[in-house]
């Protein structure tokens, strides 16, 4: 973690820099909005590679730095000692540890008023680190490492080899078909997936209080409990 540029600067942020990073943590912001006043301090965060300019918006330079900022700013994460028994346990535990209020109030939305895929990626990463022991690493954006034509969102190593790609409302389903997260109110019909890919549907329920996780074997409702405890209900 300390090998990332921007790591050292996180420990010495000024109050103004913390305010900006707090805004960016809630979701990428327009560069014009962030550079309007004390531009020198904002540009310093880009020069130190804590933040970066991406498609006209200001965001953290990597998911690792975002997670590290969360830890430094609001406290450390208690990691479990025993890893999840299997992929299903990992997935259900991750969604259980998601924060429904943070998702519901996120500013990281598109013109259709739905959460952007990036918002799900950040919350998934944060919640997943609370499910995995400290010696089991989850790596983001690893598609190029495996020679893929696109970016795989996450890879859990330690002989587990869990490859995870998050979709938003079925987008790119024919290219990536791992976990399809659906906005509340969308139809619960199965999209057309390639036959050679394992698929999982996640249907978000009203007010993001729970999700229904469906695969070819079963449907399970999981309540989003933040960092409290796991609650599963078979349907």
> 113-143 burial by CB neighbour count: b if 16+ within 10 A, else e?
ebbbbbbbbbbbbbbbbbbbeeebebebebb
Kindly state the helix (H) or strand (E) to which residue 71 belongs, with its residue range: helix 63-74
Average pLDDT over all residues of the chain = 74
pLDDT 10s digits, 144-196: 555 555 556 788 877 777 878 776 545 543 433 367 777 777 665 555 544 55
Taking residues 116-138, what's their average pLDDT? 85
The residues, ordered by sequence, that sit 6+ positions from 131 with a Cβ below 8 Å of its Cβ are 80, 84, 90, 93, 94, 97
Q: Cα–Cα distance between 53 and 171 in angstroms, integer?
A: 24
pLDDT score for 37: 46
Q: Are the C-beta atoms of 179 and 91 separated by less than 8 Å?
A: yes
Taking residues 3-10, what's their average pLDDT? 58
Taking residues 49-65, what's their average pLDDT? 82
Q: Are the C-beta atoms of 153 and 95 separated by less than 8 Å?
A: no
pLDDT score for 235: 46
Q: Are the C-beta atoms of 77 and 130 separated by less than 8 Å?
A: yes
């Amino acid at each position: 973690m300390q090998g990332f540029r921007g790591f050292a600067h996180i420990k010495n942020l000024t109050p103004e820099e913390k305010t900006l990073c707090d805004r960016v943590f809630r979701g990428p912001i327009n560069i014009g909005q962030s550079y309007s006043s004390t531009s020198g301090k904002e540009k310093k965060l880009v020069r130190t590679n804590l933040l970066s300019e991406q498609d006209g918006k200001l965001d953290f330079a990597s998911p690792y730095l975002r997670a590290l900022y969360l830890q430094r700013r609001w406290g450390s994460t208690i990691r479990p000692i025993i890893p999840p028994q299997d992929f299903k346990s990992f997935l259900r535990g991750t969604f259980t540890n998601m924060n429904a209020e943070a998702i519901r109030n996120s500013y990281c939305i598109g013109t259709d008023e739905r959460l952007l895929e990036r918002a799900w990626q950040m919350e998934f990463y944060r919640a997943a680190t609370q499910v995995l022991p400290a010696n089991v690493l989850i790596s983001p954006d690893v598609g190029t490492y495996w020679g893929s034509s696109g970016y795989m969102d996450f890879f859990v190593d330690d002989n587990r080899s869990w490859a995870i790609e998050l979709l938003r409302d079925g987008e790119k389903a024919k290219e990536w078909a791992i976990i399809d997260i659906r906005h509340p109110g969308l139809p619960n019909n199965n999209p057309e997936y390639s036959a050679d890919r394992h698929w999982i549907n996640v249907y978000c329920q009203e007010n993001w209080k729970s999700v229904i996780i469906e695969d070819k074997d079963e449907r399970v409702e999981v309540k989003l409990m933040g960092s409290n405890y796991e609650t599963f209900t078979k349907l």
